[in-house]
Amino acid sequence: MRHRKSGKRLGRNTSHRKAMMRNMVTSFFNCEKITTTDARAKELRKLVEKLITLARRGDLHSRRLALQFVRDTKTVAKLFETIAPRYNDRPGGYTRIIKLGHRAGDNASLSMIELVEEEFTAKPKQKKAPAKQTVKTVEPAAAEEVTVEETPAEEALVEEK
């Protein structure tokens, strides 16, 4: 029984699963989006969000903790210097998963996981005032300005008489 065991096993043993997730996290932070299966994307989201939250702290200890999981110093530097400052004001939800359909070979459902680009701004909710109803009226002066011009054929008929 798997009571109180979190995370999917993804059909792999522990060491293979850890190595695969480390590689996926490294690729994700390098490219800022990757395409993978739904189950892997959901597991990857957990790790990526924890690492971005860790990188937002920005101290030496958090950098060393990130280096334990992401074994590439350039990737960790990118995470701490360019990716984490984007989300300083955002309380969470740094990634989005977009479903792409099914893979041709084995019909596995594919998803793209990417970083959320727009900045988060928390706005306090305000009560909306009831909308005022306005009635447009036609001004009488505008109606009087309309004039009818005579065509040249009508002018010729008038001149002959």
Write down the pLDDT at residue 119: 55
Write down the pLDDT at residue 112: 97
Quote the longest CA-to-CA distance of the chain.
110
* Spatial separation of the C-alpha atoms in residues 100 and 97, rounded to whole Å: 9
**pLDDT for 31 beyond 70:** yes
Write down the pLDDT at residue 117: 86
The proportion of the chain whose per-residue pLDDT surpasses 70, expressed as a percent, equals 73
* Spatial separation of the C-alpha atoms in residues 73 and 19, rounded to whole Å: 17
**pLDDT for 126 beyond 60:** yes
* Spatial separation of the C-alpha atoms in residues 136 and 7, rounded to whole Å: 62
* Spatial separation of the C-alpha atoms in residues 161 and 146, rounded to whole Å: 28
Pairing of strands 95-102, 109-115: antiparallel
User: What confidence category does residue 134 fall into, taking pLDDT thresholds of 50, 70 and 90?
Assistant: low
Write down the pLDDT at residue 156: 56
Higher pLDDT, 114 or 120: 114
* Architecture of domain 14-115 in this structure: Alpha-Beta Complex (3.90)
Write down the pLDDT at residue 160: 61
Query: 53-57, 71-75, 118-122, 143-147: lowest mean pLDDT where?
Result: 143-147
Higher pLDDT, 55 or 5: 55
Write down the pLDDT at residue 147: 55
Query: pLDDT tens across 63-105, in order?
Result: 999 999 998 999 999 999 999 999 999 999 999 999 999 999 9
Write down the pLDDT at residue 2: 84
